[in-house]
Amino acid sequence: MFDWQNWSLFFSQFHFIRPLWLIALIPAFVLIAIRWKSDTKEEWHTTLPPHLRRALTIKQTGWQRQLPLKVLSATITLAIITCAGPTWQREVSPFGEDKAEVVFLIDVSHSMMQTDVPPSRLERAKHKIMDMIEYRSGGRNALIAFAGSAHIAMPMTYDQGVFAPFLTAIEPRIMPVAGKRVEQSLPALNTLLPDDTGATIVLVSDGVSASSIEMFAEYFQQTSHSLVVLAIGQPSSTSSNPTGYADLSRLASEAGGNLVHLSVDNKDIEQVTRLVERNMQLNGDNKMPWKDMGYALLIPIALLSLLWFRKGWLVQWAVLIALGLPSYLVSPSAYAQSTDVPSIEATKVATPTQWQQWWWDLWMTRDQQGQRLMNRGQYLQAAHQFESPIYQGVAYYYGRDYQQAHHAFMAAQSDLGDLYASMALARQREYLASRNLLQQLSEKPNLDSNLRHKVVQNLSAVKAIIEEIERYSESQMNTTDGAEESFEIGDNPQTSEGAEETVTEELLMKESLNANEILGSEALAQRWLDRIESDPSLFLQNKFYLQLEQQPTAGESQ
Protein backbone atom coordinates (compact mmCIF):
# COMPACT_ATOMS: atom_id res chain seq x y z
CA MET A 1 0.00 0.00 0.00
CA PHE A 2 1.27 3.45 -0.90
CA ASP A 3 2.05 5.41 2.24
CA TRP A 4 2.36 9.11 1.48
CA GLN A 5 3.45 9.84 5.07
CA ASN A 6 6.65 7.82 4.60
CA TRP A 7 7.35 9.55 1.31
CA SER A 8 6.76 12.96 2.88
CA LEU A 9 9.27 12.01 5.57
CA PHE A 10 11.76 11.04 2.85
CA PHE A 11 11.39 14.30 0.92
CA SER A 12 11.51 16.51 4.03
CA GLN A 13 14.47 14.83 5.77
CA PHE A 14 16.66 13.54 2.93
CA HIS A 15 20.26 14.73 3.00
CA PHE A 16 23.83 13.37 2.94
CA ILE A 17 25.83 12.71 6.09
CA ARG A 18 29.15 13.21 4.24
CA PRO A 19 28.22 15.53 1.34
CA LEU A 20 31.84 16.34 0.44
CA TRP A 21 32.08 12.89 -1.15
CA LEU A 22 29.79 14.16 -3.92
CA ILE A 23 32.67 16.31 -5.18
CA ALA A 24 34.25 13.05 -6.39
CA LEU A 25 31.52 12.86 -9.04
CA ILE A 26 33.17 15.72 -10.96
CA PRO A 27 36.53 14.00 -11.72
CA ALA A 28 34.71 10.67 -12.21
CA PHE A 29 32.44 12.12 -14.89
CA VAL A 30 35.39 13.90 -16.52
CA LEU A 31 37.40 10.66 -16.79
CA ILE A 32 34.36 8.75 -18.07
CA ALA A 33 33.74 11.43 -20.72
CA ILE A 34 37.37 11.30 -21.85
CA ARG A 35 37.23 7.51 -22.03
CA TRP A 36 33.97 7.61 -24.00
CA LYS A 37 35.43 10.08 -26.48
CA SER A 38 38.62 8.08 -26.97
CA ASP A 39 36.71 4.81 -27.54
CA THR A 40 34.57 6.39 -30.24
CA LYS A 41 37.59 7.69 -32.13
CA GLU A 42 39.80 4.62 -32.46
CA GLU A 43 42.05 4.50 -35.54
CA TRP A 44 40.40 1.48 -37.16
CA HIS A 45 37.10 3.41 -37.21
CA THR A 46 38.64 5.81 -39.75
CA THR A 47 40.23 3.01 -41.80
CA LEU A 48 37.06 1.10 -42.64
CA PRO A 49 34.29 2.71 -44.65
CA PRO A 50 30.97 3.13 -42.84
CA HIS A 51 29.11 0.34 -44.69
CA LEU A 52 31.86 -2.21 -43.90
CA ARG A 53 32.14 -1.04 -40.29
CA ARG A 54 28.43 -1.62 -39.77
CA ALA A 55 28.65 -5.09 -41.31
CA LEU A 56 31.77 -6.21 -39.46
CA THR A 57 30.98 -4.90 -35.97
CA ILE A 58 28.32 -5.92 -33.46
CA LYS A 59 26.88 -4.23 -30.42
CA GLN A 60 28.17 -0.86 -31.47
CA THR A 61 24.79 0.89 -31.80
CA GLY A 62 21.79 1.55 -29.56
CA TRP A 63 21.81 0.94 -25.82
CA GLN A 64 24.52 -1.74 -26.12
CA ARG A 65 27.04 0.76 -27.41
CA GLN A 66 29.86 1.18 -24.87
CA LEU A 67 27.88 -1.02 -22.46
CA PRO A 68 30.87 -1.86 -20.20
CA LEU A 69 31.63 1.84 -19.81
CA LYS A 70 28.00 2.57 -18.99
CA VAL A 71 27.98 -0.15 -16.33
CA LEU A 72 31.23 1.22 -14.90
CA SER A 73 29.75 4.73 -14.80
CA ALA A 74 26.67 3.52 -12.92
CA THR A 75 28.83 1.55 -10.47
CA ILE A 76 31.11 4.49 -9.73
CA THR A 77 28.14 6.83 -9.29
CA LEU A 78 26.43 4.49 -6.84
CA ALA A 79 29.69 3.96 -4.95
CA ILE A 80 30.24 7.71 -4.50
CA ILE A 81 26.63 8.22 -3.37
CA THR A 82 27.09 5.38 -0.87
CA CYS A 83 30.22 7.05 0.51
CA ALA A 84 28.31 10.33 0.84
CA GLY A 85 25.89 8.63 3.25
CA PRO A 86 22.31 9.29 2.10
CA THR A 87 19.87 9.41 5.01
CA TRP A 88 16.39 10.56 5.95
CA GLN A 89 15.87 9.18 9.44
CA ARG A 90 17.73 8.96 12.72
CA GLU A 91 19.05 5.91 14.50
CA VAL A 92 16.68 4.37 17.00
CA SER A 93 17.54 4.29 20.67
CA PRO A 94 19.40 1.13 21.81
CA PHE A 95 16.40 0.32 24.03
CA GLY A 96 13.24 -0.87 22.32
CA GLU A 97 11.09 0.90 24.90
CA ASP A 98 12.54 4.29 24.02
CA LYS A 99 9.98 4.87 21.30
CA ALA A 100 7.72 7.84 20.79
CA GLU A 101 6.04 9.25 23.87
CA VAL A 102 2.25 9.39 23.67
CA VAL A 103 -0.17 11.22 25.95
CA PHE A 104 -3.75 10.03 25.66
CA LEU A 105 -6.41 12.66 26.40
CA ILE A 106 -9.65 10.84 27.04
CA ASP A 107 -12.99 12.65 27.17
CA VAL A 108 -14.95 11.61 30.28
CA SER A 109 -17.90 13.94 29.84
CA HIS A 110 -21.45 12.63 30.00
CA SER A 111 -21.83 12.76 26.20
CA MET A 112 -19.30 9.92 26.03
CA MET A 113 -21.89 7.64 27.64
CA GLN A 114 -23.96 7.66 24.42
CA THR A 115 -24.51 4.15 23.05
CA ASP A 116 -24.42 4.86 19.31
CA VAL A 117 -21.06 3.05 19.45
CA PRO A 118 -21.75 -0.02 21.61
CA PRO A 119 -21.33 -0.54 24.47
CA SER A 120 -20.71 3.22 24.81
CA ARG A 121 -18.42 5.85 23.37
CA LEU A 122 -16.33 5.89 26.53
CA GLU A 123 -15.90 2.12 26.67
CA ARG A 124 -15.02 1.99 22.98
CA ALA A 125 -12.47 4.78 23.55
CA LYS A 126 -10.87 2.76 26.37
CA HIS A 127 -10.66 -0.31 24.16
CA LYS A 128 -9.06 1.68 21.35
CA ILE A 129 -6.46 3.20 23.68
CA MET A 130 -5.44 -0.21 25.01
CA ASP A 131 -5.33 -1.62 21.50
CA MET A 132 -3.06 1.24 20.43
CA ILE A 133 -0.70 0.63 23.35
CA GLU A 134 -0.51 -3.08 22.56
CA TYR A 135 -0.10 -2.41 18.84
CA ARG A 136 2.84 -0.08 19.47
CA SER A 137 4.47 -2.73 21.72
CA GLY A 138 6.80 -0.27 23.39
CA GLY A 139 7.22 3.38 24.22
CA ARG A 140 6.05 5.45 27.13
CA ASN A 141 2.38 6.31 27.52
CA ALA A 142 0.52 8.69 29.79
CA LEU A 143 -3.18 9.24 30.42
CA ILE A 144 -5.07 12.47 31.10
CA ALA A 145 -8.81 12.38 31.81
CA PHE A 146 -10.83 15.53 31.28
CA ALA A 147 -14.39 16.73 31.69
CA GLY A 148 -14.92 20.14 33.31
CA SER A 149 -11.39 19.76 34.68
CA ALA A 150 -8.40 17.71 33.54
CA HIS A 151 -6.29 15.37 35.64
CA ILE A 152 -3.28 13.11 35.21
CA ALA A 153 -4.62 9.60 35.67
CA MET A 154 -1.32 7.90 34.77
CA PRO A 155 2.09 9.54 34.33
CA MET A 156 4.54 8.38 31.68
CA THR A 157 5.09 4.63 31.97
CA TYR A 158 6.22 1.66 29.92
CA ASP A 159 4.15 -0.81 31.94
CA GLN A 160 0.90 -1.81 30.26
CA GLY A 161 -0.10 -3.82 33.31
CA VAL A 162 -0.13 -0.68 35.45
CA PHE A 163 -1.80 1.42 32.77
CA ALA A 164 -4.75 -0.91 32.09
CA PRO A 165 -6.56 -0.92 35.48
CA PHE A 166 -6.45 2.86 35.81
CA LEU A 167 -7.77 3.30 32.28
CA THR A 168 -10.59 0.88 33.06
CA ALA A 169 -11.51 2.84 36.19
CA ILE A 170 -12.07 6.10 34.25
CA GLU A 171 -15.77 7.04 34.56
CA PRO A 172 -17.71 10.33 34.65
CA ARG A 173 -18.62 9.83 38.33
CA ILE A 174 -14.99 10.15 39.46
CA MET A 175 -14.49 13.53 37.77
CA PRO A 176 -14.62 16.47 40.22
CA VAL A 177 -16.15 18.92 37.73
CA ALA A 178 -18.66 18.08 35.02
CA GLY A 179 -18.41 19.57 31.52
CA LYS A 180 -16.24 19.27 28.42
CA ARG A 181 -13.22 21.57 28.59
CA VAL A 182 -10.28 19.92 26.90
CA GLU A 183 -8.22 23.12 27.23
CA GLN A 184 -7.94 22.36 30.95
CA SER A 185 -5.49 19.60 30.01
CA LEU A 186 -2.82 22.05 28.85
CA PRO A 187 -1.23 22.51 32.32
CA ALA A 188 -1.15 18.73 32.70
CA LEU A 189 0.54 18.43 29.31
CA ASN A 190 3.21 20.89 30.42
CA THR A 191 3.75 18.75 33.51
CA LEU A 192 4.06 15.48 31.59
CA LEU A 193 6.06 16.95 28.70
CA PRO A 194 8.39 19.59 30.18
CA ASP A 195 10.83 19.26 27.29
CA ASP A 196 10.15 19.83 23.62
CA THR A 197 10.81 16.19 22.72
CA GLY A 198 8.36 15.77 19.87
CA ALA A 199 5.76 13.68 21.69
CA THR A 200 2.31 12.93 20.31
CA ILE A 201 -0.95 13.87 22.02
CA VAL A 202 -3.83 11.58 21.05
CA LEU A 203 -7.18 13.24 21.82
CA VAL A 204 -10.01 10.71 22.07
CA SER A 205 -13.26 12.66 22.15
CA ASP A 206 -16.65 13.21 20.53
CA GLY A 207 -16.44 17.01 20.30
CA VAL A 208 -14.74 20.22 21.40
CA SER A 209 -15.71 23.86 21.88
CA ALA A 210 -14.52 26.88 19.91
CA SER A 211 -12.44 28.19 22.85
CA SER A 212 -10.68 24.85 23.07
CA ILE A 213 -9.71 25.05 19.41
CA GLU A 214 -8.09 28.45 19.81
CA MET A 215 -6.11 27.51 22.92
CA PHE A 216 -4.95 24.19 21.47
CA ALA A 217 -3.87 25.83 18.21
CA GLU A 218 -1.78 28.34 20.15
CA TYR A 219 -0.21 25.55 22.23
CA PHE A 220 0.86 23.44 19.26
CA GLN A 221 2.26 26.45 17.42
CA GLN A 222 4.81 26.81 20.23
CA THR A 223 5.94 23.18 20.47
CA SER A 224 7.07 20.29 18.30
CA HIS A 225 4.46 18.00 19.82
CA SER A 226 1.94 16.57 17.39
CA LEU A 227 -1.83 16.23 17.78
CA VAL A 228 -3.87 13.26 16.59
CA VAL A 229 -7.64 13.44 17.10
CA LEU A 230 -9.56 10.16 17.24
CA ALA A 231 -13.24 11.00 16.73
CA ILE A 232 -15.52 8.68 18.70
CA GLY A 233 -19.02 8.15 17.37
CA GLN A 234 -21.08 7.22 14.32
CA PRO A 235 -21.61 9.81 11.54
CA SER A 236 -25.11 8.50 10.84
CA SER A 237 -26.14 8.38 14.49
CA THR A 238 -29.43 9.94 15.65
CA SER A 239 -28.05 10.48 19.16
CA SER A 240 -29.12 13.46 21.23
CA ASN A 241 -25.39 14.36 21.43
CA PRO A 242 -23.99 13.66 17.96
CA THR A 243 -20.25 13.61 17.44
CA GLY A 244 -18.91 17.04 16.47
CA TYR A 245 -16.83 15.99 13.49
CA ALA A 246 -16.65 19.54 12.11
CA ASP A 247 -15.20 20.96 15.34
CA LEU A 248 -12.77 18.06 15.74
CA SER A 249 -11.62 18.48 12.15
CA ARG A 250 -11.10 22.19 12.67
CA LEU A 251 -9.13 21.51 15.86
CA ALA A 252 -6.84 19.07 14.05
CA SER A 253 -6.37 21.46 11.13
CA GLU A 254 -5.57 24.60 13.16
CA ALA A 255 -3.29 22.68 15.54
CA GLY A 256 -1.38 21.15 12.63
CA GLY A 257 -2.57 17.65 13.52
CA ASN A 258 -4.58 14.88 11.93
CA LEU A 259 -8.14 13.63 12.34
CA VAL A 260 -8.75 9.88 12.45
CA HIS A 261 -12.25 8.43 12.28
CA LEU A 262 -13.28 5.49 14.44
CA SER A 263 -13.41 2.16 12.62
CA VAL A 264 -14.71 -1.26 13.58
CA ASP A 265 -11.36 -2.86 12.70
CA ASN A 266 -7.77 -1.81 13.36
CA LYS A 267 -7.47 0.69 10.51
CA ASP A 268 -7.80 3.63 12.89
CA ILE A 269 -5.20 2.15 15.24
CA GLU A 270 -2.74 1.59 12.40
CA GLN A 271 -3.25 5.12 11.12
CA VAL A 272 -2.69 6.66 14.56
CA THR A 273 0.44 4.54 15.06
CA ARG A 274 1.89 5.66 11.72
CA LEU A 275 1.28 9.28 12.66
CA VAL A 276 2.95 8.76 16.04
CA GLU A 277 6.01 7.13 14.49
CA ARG A 278 6.27 9.81 11.80
CA ASN A 279 6.21 12.58 14.39
CA MET A 280 8.91 10.79 16.39
CA GLN A 281 11.12 10.60 13.30
CA LEU A 282 10.49 14.23 12.36
CA ASN A 283 10.76 15.78 15.80
CA GLY A 284 12.21 13.08 18.01
CA ASP A 285 15.45 12.97 19.94
CA ASN A 286 17.84 15.18 17.99
CA LYS A 287 20.75 13.74 19.95
CA MET A 288 20.52 10.43 18.10
CA PRO A 289 22.82 10.18 15.04
CA TRP A 290 21.48 9.96 11.51
CA LYS A 291 21.09 6.45 10.15
CA ASP A 292 23.32 5.78 7.15
CA MET A 293 20.94 4.39 4.50
CA GLY A 294 23.65 4.00 1.85
CA TYR A 295 24.40 0.40 2.76
CA ALA A 296 21.42 -0.74 0.70
CA LEU A 297 23.19 0.54 -2.42
CA LEU A 298 25.93 -2.05 -1.95
CA ILE A 299 23.60 -4.70 -3.40
CA PRO A 300 23.20 -3.07 -6.86
CA ILE A 301 26.90 -2.18 -6.80
CA ALA A 302 27.77 -5.85 -6.26
CA LEU A 303 25.38 -7.00 -8.98
CA LEU A 304 26.79 -4.51 -11.48
CA SER A 305 30.32 -5.61 -10.58
CA LEU A 306 29.43 -9.21 -11.38
CA LEU A 307 28.78 -8.23 -15.00
CA TRP A 308 32.53 -7.79 -15.47
CA PHE A 309 32.95 -11.55 -15.03
CA ARG A 310 30.45 -12.64 -17.67
CA LYS A 311 32.99 -14.54 -19.81
CA GLY A 312 33.52 -18.24 -19.10
CA TRP A 313 31.59 -20.75 -17.02
CA LEU A 314 34.23 -21.01 -14.31
CA VAL A 315 33.43 -17.62 -12.80
CA GLN A 316 29.69 -18.31 -13.03
CA TRP A 317 30.05 -21.59 -11.15
CA ALA A 318 32.17 -19.78 -8.55
CA VAL A 319 29.37 -17.28 -8.05
CA LEU A 320 26.80 -20.08 -7.60
CA ILE A 321 29.03 -21.82 -5.07
CA ALA A 322 29.57 -18.57 -3.15
CA LEU A 323 25.82 -17.99 -3.01
CA GLY A 324 24.96 -21.57 -2.08
CA LEU A 325 27.67 -22.24 0.48
CA PRO A 326 26.16 -20.05 3.27
CA SER A 327 22.84 -21.87 3.06
CA TYR A 328 24.67 -25.19 3.34
CA LEU A 329 26.86 -24.21 6.26
CA VAL A 330 24.13 -22.37 8.18
CA SER A 331 21.05 -24.50 8.59
CA PRO A 332 17.70 -22.80 9.23
CA SER A 333 17.47 -24.36 12.68
CA ALA A 334 20.72 -22.76 13.74
CA TYR A 335 19.12 -19.32 13.90
CA ALA A 336 15.49 -20.31 14.33
CA GLN A 337 13.22 -17.34 14.97
CA SER A 338 12.35 -17.39 18.64
CA THR A 339 11.63 -14.31 20.73
CA ASP A 340 10.07 -16.14 23.67
CA VAL A 341 13.22 -17.82 24.97
CA PRO A 342 12.65 -18.09 28.72
CA SER A 343 16.24 -18.51 29.85
CA ILE A 344 19.84 -18.40 28.73
CA GLU A 345 20.00 -22.19 28.83
CA ALA A 346 17.42 -22.37 26.04
CA THR A 347 19.67 -20.34 23.74
CA LYS A 348 22.37 -23.03 23.82
CA VAL A 349 20.24 -25.13 21.48
CA ALA A 350 20.38 -22.36 18.85
CA THR A 351 24.08 -21.66 19.24
CA PRO A 352 25.88 -22.02 15.86
CA THR A 353 28.32 -24.88 15.41
CA GLN A 354 32.04 -24.36 15.08
CA TRP A 355 31.89 -24.45 11.27
CA GLN A 356 28.92 -22.14 11.14
CA GLN A 357 30.64 -19.68 13.46
CA TRP A 358 33.80 -19.92 11.35
CA TRP A 359 31.80 -19.03 8.23
CA TRP A 360 30.16 -15.99 9.80
CA ASP A 361 33.49 -14.83 11.25
CA LEU A 362 34.81 -14.62 7.69
CA TRP A 363 32.30 -11.92 6.80
CA MET A 364 31.22 -10.19 9.99
CA THR A 365 32.64 -9.13 13.30
CA ARG A 366 31.04 -10.57 16.42
CA ASP A 367 29.25 -7.28 17.07
CA GLN A 368 27.87 -7.30 13.54
CA GLN A 369 26.66 -10.86 13.99
CA GLY A 370 25.01 -9.85 17.23
CA GLN A 371 23.28 -6.93 15.54
CA ARG A 372 22.02 -9.26 12.82
CA LEU A 373 20.42 -11.47 15.46
CA MET A 374 19.03 -8.41 17.24
CA ASN A 375 17.31 -7.31 14.04
CA ARG A 376 15.70 -10.74 13.82
CA GLY A 377 14.41 -10.57 17.39
CA GLN A 378 16.80 -13.23 18.77
CA TYR A 379 18.01 -11.11 21.65
CA LEU A 380 19.51 -13.69 24.01
CA GLN A 381 21.37 -15.38 21.14
CA ALA A 382 22.68 -11.96 20.15
CA ALA A 383 24.01 -11.40 23.66
CA HIS A 384 26.36 -14.38 23.20
CA GLN A 385 27.73 -12.89 19.98
CA PHE A 386 28.38 -9.34 21.09
CA GLU A 387 31.86 -8.50 22.31
CA SER A 388 30.96 -4.99 23.46
CA PRO A 389 29.56 -5.09 27.03
CA ILE A 390 27.14 -2.26 26.21
CA TYR A 391 25.70 -4.10 23.20
CA GLN A 392 25.64 -7.32 25.17
CA GLY A 393 23.71 -5.63 27.96
CA VAL A 394 21.24 -4.14 25.50
CA ALA A 395 20.64 -7.61 24.04
CA TYR A 396 19.98 -9.07 27.49
CA TYR A 397 17.70 -6.12 28.24
CA TYR A 398 15.70 -6.78 25.09
CA GLY A 399 15.49 -10.44 26.09
CA ARG A 400 14.10 -9.45 29.51
CA ASP A 401 17.08 -10.95 31.34
CA TYR A 402 17.57 -7.80 33.39
CA GLN A 403 19.98 -9.36 35.87
CA GLN A 404 22.44 -10.34 33.15
CA ALA A 405 21.89 -6.96 31.50
CA HIS A 406 22.87 -5.24 34.75
CA HIS A 407 26.08 -7.29 35.01
CA ALA A 408 27.00 -6.55 31.39
CA PHE A 409 26.40 -2.82 31.75
CA MET A 410 28.48 -2.66 34.92
CA ALA A 411 31.29 -4.54 33.14
CA ALA A 412 31.46 -1.72 30.60
CA GLN A 413 32.85 0.58 33.33
CA SER A 414 31.51 3.70 31.66
CA ASP A 415 29.01 6.41 32.49
CA LEU A 416 26.65 5.16 29.79
CA GLY A 417 26.92 1.64 31.17
CA ASP A 418 26.07 2.89 34.66
CA LEU A 419 22.99 4.69 33.31
CA TYR A 420 21.76 1.57 31.53
CA ALA A 421 22.59 -0.54 34.59
CA SER A 422 20.32 1.66 36.70
CA MET A 423 17.51 1.06 34.22
CA ALA A 424 18.06 -2.69 34.45
CA LEU A 425 17.88 -2.43 38.24
CA ALA A 426 14.62 -0.49 38.01
CA ARG A 427 13.22 -3.23 35.78
CA GLN A 428 13.95 -5.68 38.61
CA ARG A 429 12.10 -3.36 41.02
CA GLU A 430 15.41 -2.61 42.71
CA TYR A 431 14.41 1.05 42.93
CA LEU A 432 16.66 1.91 45.84
CA ALA A 433 19.78 0.50 44.17
CA SER A 434 18.79 2.23 40.94
CA ARG A 435 18.35 5.53 42.75
CA ASN A 436 21.72 5.25 44.50
CA LEU A 437 23.52 4.44 41.24
CA LEU A 438 21.88 7.36 39.45
CA GLN A 439 22.67 9.65 42.39
CA GLN A 440 26.35 8.73 42.21
CA LEU A 441 26.35 9.23 38.47
CA SER A 442 24.70 12.65 38.69
CA GLU A 443 27.38 13.84 41.13
CA LYS A 444 30.22 13.24 38.67
CA PRO A 445 31.65 16.64 37.66
CA ASN A 446 32.86 15.61 34.19
CA LEU A 447 29.66 13.88 33.07
CA ASP A 448 28.61 14.58 29.48
CA SER A 449 25.82 17.18 29.32
CA ASN A 450 23.53 15.03 27.15
CA LEU A 451 24.06 12.04 29.42
CA ARG A 452 23.52 14.17 32.51
CA HIS A 453 20.12 15.23 31.16
CA LYS A 454 19.05 11.60 30.85
CA VAL A 455 20.45 10.75 34.29
CA VAL A 456 18.48 13.58 35.88
CA GLN A 457 15.30 12.47 34.14
CA ASN A 458 15.67 8.85 35.23
CA LEU A 459 16.63 9.86 38.75
CA SER A 460 13.52 12.00 39.00
CA ALA A 461 11.36 9.11 37.77
CA VAL A 462 12.84 6.60 40.23
CA LYS A 463 12.50 9.05 43.11
CA ALA A 464 8.88 9.62 42.16
CA ILE A 465 8.23 5.86 42.37
CA ILE A 466 9.85 5.65 45.79
CA GLU A 467 7.98 8.71 47.05
CA GLU A 468 4.72 7.21 45.79
CA ILE A 469 5.41 4.04 47.76
CA GLU A 470 6.22 6.03 50.89
CA ARG A 471 3.11 8.17 50.45
CA TYR A 472 0.91 5.08 50.33
CA SER A 473 2.77 3.66 53.28
CA GLU A 474 2.15 6.80 55.33
CA SER A 475 -1.54 6.70 54.37
CA GLN A 476 -1.86 3.48 56.39
CA MET A 477 -1.30 5.36 59.66
CA ASN A 478 -4.34 5.77 61.93
CA THR A 479 -6.56 3.60 59.74
CA THR A 480 -8.94 0.86 60.83
CA ASP A 481 -7.95 -1.64 58.15
CA GLY A 482 -7.99 -5.27 59.19
CA ALA A 483 -5.11 -7.68 59.12
CA GLU A 484 -5.61 -8.45 55.42
CA GLU A 485 -5.49 -4.75 54.44
CA SER A 486 -2.82 -3.46 56.79
CA PHE A 487 0.92 -3.12 56.62
CA GLU A 488 1.27 -2.62 60.36
CA ILE A 489 3.99 -4.49 62.20
CA GLY A 490 2.53 -6.61 64.95
CA ASP A 491 -0.91 -7.48 63.61
CA ASN A 492 -1.36 -10.12 66.35
CA PRO A 493 -0.36 -8.55 69.69
CA GLN A 494 0.18 -10.80 72.75
CA THR A 495 -2.32 -10.57 75.65
CA SER A 496 -2.37 -11.97 79.24
CA GLU A 497 -4.00 -15.39 79.72
CA GLY A 498 -7.32 -15.60 81.69
CA ALA A 499 -7.47 -11.88 82.41
CA GLU A 500 -9.25 -8.99 80.85
CA GLU A 501 -7.58 -8.15 77.59
CA THR A 502 -5.17 -5.30 78.00
CA VAL A 503 -3.16 -3.61 75.31
CA THR A 504 -0.12 -1.55 76.16
CA GLU A 505 0.57 1.83 74.60
CA GLU A 506 3.47 0.32 72.72
CA LEU A 507 1.19 -2.21 71.01
CA LEU A 508 -1.32 0.50 70.14
CA MET A 509 1.31 2.35 68.14
CA LYS A 510 0.91 1.65 64.43
CA GLU A 511 4.21 1.56 62.72
CA SER A 512 3.99 2.50 59.03
CA LEU A 513 6.40 0.86 56.64
CA ASN A 514 8.59 3.10 54.53
CA ALA A 515 9.75 2.50 50.97
CA ASN A 516 12.94 0.71 52.05
CA GLU A 517 10.97 -1.89 54.00
CA ILE A 518 8.32 -2.41 51.32
CA LEU A 519 10.83 -2.74 48.51
CA GLY A 520 13.04 -4.95 50.64
CA SER A 521 10.33 -7.56 51.02
CA GLU A 522 8.68 -9.14 48.01
CA ALA A 523 5.70 -10.27 50.06
CA LEU A 524 5.06 -6.79 51.49
CA ALA A 525 5.49 -5.24 48.06
CA GLN A 526 2.90 -7.59 46.59
CA ARG A 527 0.44 -6.82 49.41
CA TRP A 528 1.00 -3.11 48.81
CA LEU A 529 0.33 -3.50 45.09
CA ASP A 530 -2.78 -5.59 45.77
CA ARG A 531 -4.11 -2.85 47.99
CA ILE A 532 -3.57 -0.20 45.33
CA GLU A 533 -5.25 -2.27 42.64
CA SER A 534 -8.23 -3.22 44.80
CA ASP A 535 -10.23 -0.10 43.89
CA PRO A 536 -8.45 2.12 41.34
CA SER A 537 -11.59 4.19 40.69
CA LEU A 538 -11.73 5.32 44.32
CA PHE A 539 -8.04 6.07 44.23
CA LEU A 540 -8.40 8.14 41.05
CA GLN A 541 -11.37 10.02 42.44
CA ASN A 542 -9.41 11.09 45.53
CA LYS A 543 -6.38 11.88 43.40
CA PHE A 544 -8.38 14.07 41.01
CA TYR A 545 -9.88 16.10 43.86
CA LEU A 546 -6.42 16.69 45.28
CA GLN A 547 -5.13 17.72 41.86
CA LEU A 548 -8.06 20.09 41.44
CA GLU A 549 -7.01 21.96 44.56
CA GLN A 550 -3.41 22.30 43.39
CA GLN A 551 -3.53 22.69 39.60
CA PRO A 552 -3.34 26.10 37.87
CA THR A 553 -5.90 27.25 35.35
CA ALA A 554 -5.39 26.78 31.63
CA GLY A 555 -4.64 30.44 31.18
CA GLU A 556 -1.74 30.31 33.65
CA SER A 557 -0.01 27.58 31.65
CA GLN A 558 0.34 29.75 28.62
Determine which helix (DSSP H) or strand (DSSP E) holds 234, and give its type and residue range: none
Task: Give the DSSP letter string of 105-152.
Answer: EEE-SGGGG--SSSS-HHHHHHHHHHHHHHHHTSS-EEEEEESSSEEE
Q: What integer pLDDT is reported at residue 340 of this predicted model? A: 39
Coil vs helix vs strand at 153 = strand
Burial per residue of 37-58, b for 16 or more beta-carbon CB atoms within 10 angstroms, e otherwise: eeeeeeeeeeeeeeeeeeeeee
Q: What integer pLDDT is reported at residue 500 of this predicted model? A: 41
- 119 prior amide bond cis, ω within 30: yes
User: C-alpha distances in angstroms, 548 versus 55, 69, 177, 182?
Assistant: 94, 75, 9, 15
Q: What are the CB-based long-range contacts (under 8 Å, 24+) for 436-441? A: 438/462, 441/415
Q: What integer pLDDT is reported at residue 285 of this predicted model? A: 53
**Is the alpha carbon torsion for 426, 428, 432, 438 positive or negative?**
negative
Residues of the chain with pLDDT under 50: 1-3, 96-98, 312-349, 480-512, 533, 553-558
Coil vs helix vs strand at 38 = helix
What's the predicted TM-score (pTM) here?
A: 0.48
**230 forms bridges with which residues in the sheet?**
204, 260
Q: Please answer whether residues 192 and 147 qualify as being in contact, where contact means their C-beta atoms are separated by less than 8 angstroms.
A: no
312 Cβ contact list (under 8 Å, min separation 6) = none
Q: What integer pLDDT is reported at residue 482 of this predicted model? A: 42
